[in-house]
Chains A and B, each alone.
Chain A
Amino acid sequence: MNYLRLLVAFLRVSIIGEIAYRVNFIWQLFQSILSLIVSLGGLSVIFSYADTLGGWRPEEILALVGVYFLVGGMIRLIIQPGMEQLIESVRDGTLDFTLTKPEDAQVIISIGRVDIWRLIDIVLGLGVLAAALIGLGGKIGGWQAGMFILMLVAGAIIIYSFFLILATLSFWFVRVENILVVFHSMYEAGRWPVSLYPGWLRYALTFVVPVAFATTVPTEALTGRLAWETSLVAVVLAVVLLMLSRVFWKFGLRRYSGASA
């Protein structure tokens, strides 16, 4: 509960900080819409030549695009800003201040910075998802909706743990931001179902950079094509990675000695 209060406080600070730059809202909206145009334009070209893509119907791919925006928005809203701040503060030694605070440092790092304009991507993603659901009609049952949410949460935890592990590497290496760039190149590939890709790429997108769990798996749950083994793997992986990232973070923290000290 305490953490929730903290999150609200941090959110308020970001909103107050950004409200002075209201024009940013328009620009961010513009850029997000452009990005959506790329997705939808590509889809409309492809589906003018084919009825299904690797067994996926247009509405199902549209749902995937919605999830892609929704999860991408979550990553850029809260996961990535916090991790970027961690990397920076390890380099310039300001992590000292975070460590002296009474709350758990991992929590403060994780929710301490919020890029509120990314809420636009989340709203757009939800909009696309809603449009796709109308297209899919009444085929979504309660079970599928529940599994969808469960897989979405598992995917978010996996991505969060993945980012935390990468950012923790900054205790040893200086230039880890580059790896974040790799993540975004790979995430682009999540616009399409990973089942389309040849084995090696599918493997890389599942276990090297866990894009599949962030976009394809939740959409599979929604469209009722999720194998129960996959859902089990997602949940187990989420729990294991979350614990692993926590252990690794503690381990890295012991190495940290402050930049100026």
Chain B
Amino acid sequence: MKALVELYMQQFKTTLASMFQYRASLLIWMIGQVLEPLVYLIVWSIVSNTSGGSVGDYTTREFAGYFIVLMLVNQFTYTWIMYEFEYRIREGILSFALLKPVNPIHSDIADNISSKLMTLPIMMLVAVGLAVAFQASISPVPWAIVLFIPVLLLAFVVRFLLEWTLALAAFWTTRVGAINQTYFVLMLFLSGQIAPLALLPSPVQILADILPFRWMIGFPVELLLGRLTIVEALTGLGAQVAWLLAGLVLLRIVWRSGIKIYSAVGA
């Protein structure tokens, strides 16, 4: 345990230094992260304004609140590991990571957290700016704010575990592009990125409850906006824990069988 803490501290230092080097790339990533929810925010605001100031039980200003919180939750939980892993395996870089005595997932987690430490302050500023510009209405209830913290952390861990596991598909195929894109399309619809899930047809909502996507993004957003009852919130927390356990088991199985068939290129 102590060794792991030391490893994280060291990894934080090195990645913070290298992230600082690539701050231009980080900024460019952020443009995409901001623009996508912003576009849906604008589109839904217009739909809401033309249909008398609300759609479903979202008013125009609540749409703004929804998509701004969504932007932050997405920023907090996203990973880029699926692009990275394919490259690691193709170029044989993974071999070096395997020589180290700890699972490479730890350095990836540390990487992810340090990049977010760099970008989160800027994203917060952007969020405040957008909230003012679009007169966003966010009115959370106290218990929901308290519960939001563990829910957001769980959302991050679940998303990280699942995307890391999915990235391991690169052990078996070189066509991860198609797999990633399928994943992102499902994510877009089922996590609430295209519209609040309550506005989607009910079969889609049922699917969203079963699959993990909602629990990684949409659920924390709805919780913070005060749209869930306490029972719904606790059920959601249960779903997150269930996906956390499933993710851990899946990761273990996939990692073990992947590593067996991995033979480094050039080795």
- Residues of A in contact with B (beta carbons under 8 Å apart): 27, 30-31, 34-35, 37-38, 41-42, 45-46, 49-50, 52-54, 175, 178-179, 181-182, 185-186, 188-189, 191-192, 196-198, 201
Listed residue (B43, B175, B177, B200) with the most chain A CB atoms within 10 angstroms of its CB: B43
Contact of A34 with B181 in the complex, beta carbons under 8 Å: yes
Tell me the dominant secondary structure on chain A's binding face: helix
B-side contacts of A191, CB under 8 Å: 39
Cβ contact of B181, chosen from A31, A49, A179, A186, cutoff 8 A: A31
Contact of A34 with B182 at beta-carbon distance under 8 Å, contacts A42-B194, A175-B24 already known: yes
Contact of B36 with A178 in the complex, beta carbons under 8 Å: no
Given the complex of chains A and B, what is the CA–CA distance between A196 and B178 in angstroms? Answer: 32
Q: Say yes or no: is B234 at the interface (Cβ < 8 Å to chain A).
A: no
- Residues of B in contact with A (beta carbons under 8 Å apart): 24-25, 28, 31-32, 35-36, 38-39, 42-44, 46-47, 50-51, 55-56, 133, 175, 177-178, 181-182, 185, 188-189, 194-195, 199-200
Given the complex of chains A and B, what is the CA–CA distance between A181 and B177 in angstroms? Answer: 16
Contact of A31 with B178 at beta-carbon distance under 8 Å, contacts A38-B185, A41-B189, A175-B24 already known: yes
- In order of increasing CB-CB distance, the 4 nearest A-B pairs are A185-B32, A50-B47, A49-B55, A34-B185
B-side contacts of A53, CB under 8 Å: 43, 46-47, 50
Contact of A196 with B194 in the complex, beta carbons under 8 Å: no
Q: How many A-B residue pairs have CB under 8 A?
A: 78
A-B contact pairs, 20 of them (CB 8 A): A27-B175, A31-B177, A35-B185, A41-B194, A46-B43, A46-B195, A49-B47, A50-B50, A50-B55, A52-B50, A53-B47, A54-B46, A54-B50, A178-B28, A182-B31, A185-B35, A191-B39, A192-B42, A192-B43, A201-B42
Given the complex of chains A and B, what is the CA–CA distance between A112 and B28 in angstroms? Answer: 28
Contact of B185 with A196 in the complex, beta carbons under 8 Å: no
Q: How far is the CB of A177 from chain B (nearest CB, A)?
A: 10
Q: How far is the CB of A22 from chain B (nearest CB, A)?
A: 14
Q: How far is the CB of B255 from chain A (nearest CB, A)?
A: 26
Contact of B177 with A27 in the complex, beta carbons under 8 Å: yes
Contact of A27 with B47 in the complex, beta carbons under 8 Å: no
Cβ contact of A46, chosen from B36, B47, B56, B177, cutoff 8 A: B47
Given the complex of chains A and B, what is the CA–CA distance between A143 and B200 in angstroms? Answer: 40
A-side contacts of B36, CB under 8 Å: 185, 188
Given the complex of chains A and B, what is the CA–CA distance between A178 and B23 in angstroms? Answer: 12
Given the complex of chains A and B, what is the CA–CA distance between A188 and B182 in angstroms? Answer: 18
Given the complex of chains A and B, what is the CA–CA distance between A192 and B36 in angstroms? Answer: 12
B-side contacts of A182, CB under 8 Å: 28, 31
Given the complex of chains A and B, what is the CA–CA distance between A45 and B200 in angstroms? Answer: 7
**Other than the known A45-B199, A191-B39, A192-B43, what 8 A-B pairs have Cβ atoms closer than 8 Å?**
A27-B178, A31-B177, A38-B188, A45-B194, A46-B44, A49-B55, A185-B35, A188-B39
Contact of B31 with A185 in the complex, beta carbons under 8 Å: yes
A186 closest partner in B (C-beta): B35
B-side contacts of A42, CB under 8 Å: 194-195
Contact of B185 with A49 in the complex, beta carbons under 8 Å: no
Listed residue (A34, A50, A181) with the most chain B CB atoms within 10 angstroms of its CB: A50
Cβ contact of B178, chosen from A30, A178, A198, cutoff 8 A: A30
Q: How far is the CB of B249 from chain A (nearest CB, A)?
A: 28
Given the complex of chains A and B, what is the CA–CA distance between A181 and B51 in angstroms? Answer: 36
A23 closest partner in B (C-beta): B175
Contact of A188 with B194 in the complex, beta carbons under 8 Å: no
Contact of B28 with A181 in the complex, beta carbons under 8 Å: yes
Q: How far is the CB of A73 from chain B (nearest CB, A)?
A: 16
A-side contacts of B200, CB under 8 Å: 45
B-side contacts of A186, CB under 8 Å: 31, 35
Listed residue (A27, A49, A52, A186) with the most chain B CB atoms within 10 angstroms of its CB: A49
Contact of B46 with A196 in the complex, beta carbons under 8 Å: yes
A26 closest partner in B (C-beta): B178
Contact of A45 with B195 at beta-carbon distance under 8 Å, contacts A34-B182, A182-B28, A196-B42 already known: yes
B-side contacts of A179, CB under 8 Å: 28
A-side contacts of B31, CB under 8 Å: 182, 185-186
Contact of B43 with A196 in the complex, beta carbons under 8 Å: yes
B-side contacts of A192, CB under 8 Å: 39, 42-43
Given the complex of chains A and B, what is the CA–CA distance between A178 and B55 in angstroms? Answer: 38
Given the complex of chains A and B, what is the CA–CA distance between A175 and B50 in angstroms? Answer: 44
Q: How far is the CB of A226 from chain B (nearest CB, A)?
A: 21
